Chain A
């Protein structure tokens, strides 16, 4: 998207609001929806990747050290990763402004 969605006028819209740019949803910051965020204690992590499998947003990736971390641009703070983690790596903390 060339313009920020807050700057788009009705004249900028494609007919029928058709989206012609594939994958543009990636620019949608769903992280804004979050009221809690994951905290990690990687000392307990066995690198099983279950959190990545369960993440409904698909925003968890393996980092350079092989640990799995959520991307805060998209993470909605649902807490499913924390619930599913078999070794208790992830805890959910209140999001602060």
Chain B
């Protein structure tokens, strides 16, 4: 194995892209993603990284340049956050539908307005249906590992899809953590070279992104849907291989002290760390509480979620994004939908909290558990609550 060093998580993500032998980086800096692309720019400028760094004038251009890079078969990486991800929005659909394995780190950030550079998961939820594989990290080690894995997943001939790696802005990107770095040769062994099967090549001309009339559009979308769904099996395969090679194992939904739990909390991303402390505290008080941490957002792991929920009586879903005027947080409504057809299903309580950089403390997680049992007793009519809002 390599060495364990203290490093800012943003820099570790950039190092992962470097160790993956990325050929092209096209990116536009935006808080809280800036350190990732700044570090990549430094690595390229100093000659430590043999890649093309394309500075662009916007995120729309960043993703468009990534398309151009991916279609010639170059290993392509970018990163963005919040408003930047939104400015890329239409190009995200192009990347996935054209089956281009672009790897992108997203430093999750709240969306304007009001202008707010801090962390939540509004940006991730806004790009839910763009057809990308979406993977969520809880800590720095995961951010490094899952970025390396993302290249192997996305570039797999059976997958060929772009992959987003979500890491909470500031909570993750700006903290220094001890991270185990593998040796370069270990990464090289794990990560075969990118071999896009139909690259742009003057000797074998192809047309990409061509106009498609109504007679073919639905078939194209069906093919995309089947492909993204089928990628789950292959994602699991590569995570298992990573586990064998590096000893760290990743699953679509991670479980923490769920054995015999009557109440389950479900979180996404870095807030799982605080929730674990809350679960430990509640368990020490004899309360049967466990934690589920969703790692794979797309393709959505239906079977694994149903299995993980098991026989719990109450499931508390924390959303750090608001589906304004809708059925609650996006994660809440999807989890509820995934469990709807189950004969036995828990009462599902949705909380929207942790918006725009507001912390959720251990005590507040405890309060959520308490509040959920109140709601369960009263059979509260409310679909969800904005937790911790000042009335």
Contacts and interface: CB of A to CB of B under 8 A. Distances in A.
Interface of A: 5-6, 8-20, 22, 24
Given A8-B219, A10-B219, A10-B220, A17 B160 contact: no
Given A19-B206, A19-B210, A20-B198, A13 B100 contact: no
Interface string B201-222: 0001111111011011001101
B207 A8 contact: no
Contact of A10 (B209, B210, B226): B226
A22 B213 CA distance: 18
A16 B95 CA distance: 9
Contacts of A13: 216, 219-220, 223
A22 B223 CA distance: 22
B16 interface: no
A19 B206 CA distance: 5
B99 interface: yes
A22 B208 contact: no
A22 B205 contact: yes
A15 B97 contact: no
Contacts of B197: 15
Interface residues of B, number: 23
Contacts of B98: 16-18
Given A5-B215, A6-B215, A20-B206, A15 B99 contact: yes
A23 to B, nearest CB: 9
B367 to A, nearest CB: 48
Interface in B72-108: 97-100
A24 B207 CA distance: 10
B136 to A, nearest CB: 26
B160 A15 contact: yes
Contacts of A19: 206-208, 210
A8 B223 CA distance: 12
A9 B226 CA distance: 13
Contacts of A11: 223
A10 B223 contact: yes
Contacts of A9: 219
Given A13-B223, A15-B160, A16-B99, A5 B216 contact: yes
B220 A17 contact: yes
A18 B207 contact: yes
Contacts of B97: 16-17
Nearest to A12: B219
Contacts of B219: 8-10, 12-13
Contacts of A16: 97-100, 160, 198, 208
22 contacts: A5-B213, A6-B215, A8-B216, A10-B219, A12-B219, A13-B216, A13-B219, A13-B220, A15-B99, A15-B197, A16-B97, A16-B99, A17-B98, A17-B212, A17-B223, A18-B98, A18-B198, A18-B207, A18-B208, A19-B206, A20-B206, A22-B205
A41 B213 CA distance: 36
Nearest to B160: A15
Contacts of A17: 97-98, 209-210, 212, 216, 220, 223
A69 B207 CA distance: 29
Contacts of A15: 99, 160, 197-198
